[in-house]
Structure 1
């Protein structure tokens, strides 16, 4: 049983991006509605940066922990990567309430049908997509990942280097 669990953890950490995202297709060539304002934001502004897109939903305690871990990592590694939070499985009102509770130190958006068409269904939250500097998928993570583990994964998968 222990070997199976270890295999499952390694598979989750090292698995390539979900197969339903087309090879070489950008995950940043769309607009999402901001949760901080009524604006729609063109995600192409993040092209050229290592991007971490974490999906959250209302009343998800593990999502809350994941956003906190990303806030801490971002404080330790400023300008090394760009986290983005994407709310799913809730009304705009519920996602706005969750956004205020999460207090991410990075942009947060409401999921769009176009993003879901590219990614497919979100199996569980938190669900994190790693996006390389060209906008292509660089892997995915399912479930909560501590700040220390995130640092290792970002270094390995997206060549993000952090001091400290």
Structure 2
């Protein structure tokens, strides 16, 4: 089974076999790609609502990798659906791929190469330069913004 994110509908990704997605993906699509969603749904695509425990599991993994702030609610739910359904996630989103790797969810890239390594992000204060493992949004020392960086 393949779990499709919005880019799969936008780029006219074709897969043989069973497909699934989450309801929020439909909201991200324009008219033309929305028609593709509707057609696939009409031909048997499963629209899955992931369990709250699976969503929490994904959020924890994304928080640990430093990718949580890069993921939309739709992204989290797509990851949770792929995790629950033991499916392949179809996406070009690198943050989603990084979290999928941590969850042992297989990924198929659509148009771009997939990730080549799993990353643990750090966050650096743009003001005083302090480094944090978790994203504090603002530096607790000087109050400046923090940016994500690869250690």
Higher strand content, 1 or 2: 1
Q: RCO higher in 1 or 2 (8 Å CA, sep ≥ 6)?
A: 1
TM-score (norm 2): 0.31
TM-score, scaled to structure 1: 0.29
